């Protein structure tokens, strides 16, 4: 699987259209926003299902940005095709999350060292136990160093990748084992990276506190998203 299998069923680009380091995000319009605002010479390589993908330059480095949709099955498809068909080496997901912790501030960045899950995505591999999906240490270390250098407030820790957004079981129970926040994709991305022998990281902008009900205000929101994208682009 690779060059001759591109374009794929879900990504319209040819093999060489996609950079070896790619930032992915749930919302395809955020991918377009990153291409238009942070990249130079950006070229759109995919519009299939409106899941835009662009390749351009960030400070002299060739980078791609692409949407991945919502939930583990969706990021599972995009990350699989990127790793196996386009030989992408590094995927950094930039997304949003809710937090369970008082110490994790709205508008800050949460870097996901590990990702628990209530999904059974890993069951297909019939592992003799429970797999612990983790980030690539080199990308994680670079993200922390970059946040420090840019003065961006951040936390590092374990998160939950949940299959449910609505009518979820009480997710705050996860706080008892130190889980800091919840989103819906990182665990699938980390598992796919491990199966492909490639690197992945998830960087999240904290948009709401699930314990206090506090939500990020509109003005705060763009700053948090920009901080997260900036870290991603610097390290990819
Ligand atoms: N759950 C899942 N994904 C999210 C949330 C949430 O509460 N907030 C932002 N992304």
208 is catalytic: yes
Task: Let me know: does 111 contact 154? Beta carbons within 8 Å.
Answer: yes
Helix boundaries (H) for the chain = 28-38, 72-84, 137-150, 186-196, 218-235
Output the pLDDT for position 217.
84
pLDDT of residue 196: 98
Cβ atoms of 181 and 72 closer than 8 Å: no
pTM > 0.95: yes or no? yes
The answer, yes or no, to whether any atom of ligand 1 lies below 6 A from the CB of 182, is: yes
Token pair recorded at residue 111: 């870097």
How many angstroms separate the alpha carbon of residue 5 from the centre of ligand 1? Answer: 34
Measured between its terminal Cα atoms, the distance across the chain in Å is 24
Cβ 98 under 6 angstroms from ligand 1? yes
pLDDT in tens, 144-192: 999 999 999 999 999 999 999 998 888 889 999 999 999 999 999 999 9
C-alpha 90/C-alpha 108 separation (Å) is: 23
- Neighbouring C-beta atoms of residue 212, cutoff 10 Å: 10
Question: Which residue among 162, 180, 204, 216 has the greatest number of ligand 1 atoms within 8 angstroms of its CB, and so is best to mutate?
Answer: 162
List the pLDDT tens digit at each of the 236 positions of the chain: 778 899 999 999 999 999 999 999 999 999 999 999 999 999 999 999 999 999 999 999 999 999 999 999 999 999 999 999 999 999 999 999 999 999 999 999 999 999 999 999 999 999 999 999 999 999 999 999 999 999 999 999 999 999 999 988 888 899 999 999 999 999 999 999 999 999 999 999 999 999 999 999 887 788 899 999 999 999 99
Contact 85, 8 (CB under 8 A): yes
Shortest-distance Cα residue to atom 10 of ligand 1: 97
Single out the residue of 99, 67, 73, 75 nearest to residue 174, CA to CA: 99
In the reported structure, the alpha carbon of residue 168 is separated from the centroid of ligand 1 by a whole-number distance in angstroms of 11
Instruction: Measure the CA angle with vertex 100, ends 102 and 129; round to 5°.
Output: 135
Residue nearest to atom 2 of ligand 1 (CA): 183
Please name the residues in contact with 60: beta carbons below 8 A apart, sequence gap of 6 or more.
Answer: none
Q: How far apart are CA 164 and CA 184, in angstroms?
A: 8
Distance of CA 14 to the CA centre of its chain: 23
Burial class (CB in 10 A: 0-12, 13-18, 19+), 57: middle
């Amino acid at each position: 699987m690779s060059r001759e299998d591109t374009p794929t069923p879900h990504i319209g680009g040819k093999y060489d259209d996609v950079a070896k380091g790619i930032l992915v995000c749930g919302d395809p319009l955020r991918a377009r926003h990153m291409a238009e605002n942070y990249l130079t010479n950006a070229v759109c390589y995919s519009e299939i299902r409106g899941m835009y993908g662009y390749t351009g330059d960030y400070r002299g480095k060739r980078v791609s940005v692409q949407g991945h949709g919502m939930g583990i099955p969706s990021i599972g498809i995009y990350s699989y095709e990127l790793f196996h068909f386009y030989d992408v080496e590094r995927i950094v997901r930039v997304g949003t999350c809710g937090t369970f912790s008082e110490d994790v501030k709205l508008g800050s960045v949460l870097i996901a060292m590990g990702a628990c899950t209530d999904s059974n995505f890993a069951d297909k591999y019939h592992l003799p136990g429970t797999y612990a999906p983790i980030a690539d240490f080199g990308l994680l270390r670079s993200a922390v160093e970059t946040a420090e250098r840019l003065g961006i407030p951040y936390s590092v820790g374990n998160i939950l990748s949940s299959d449910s957004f609505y009518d979820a079981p009480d997710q705050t129970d996860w706080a008892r084992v130190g889980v800091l926040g919840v989103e819906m994709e990182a665990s699938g991305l980390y598992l796919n990276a491990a199966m492909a022998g490639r690197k992945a990281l998830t960087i999240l902008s904290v948009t709401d506190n699930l314990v206090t009900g506090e939500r990020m205000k509109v003005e705060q929101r763009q700053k948090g998203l920009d901080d997260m994208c900036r870290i991603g682009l610097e390290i990819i």
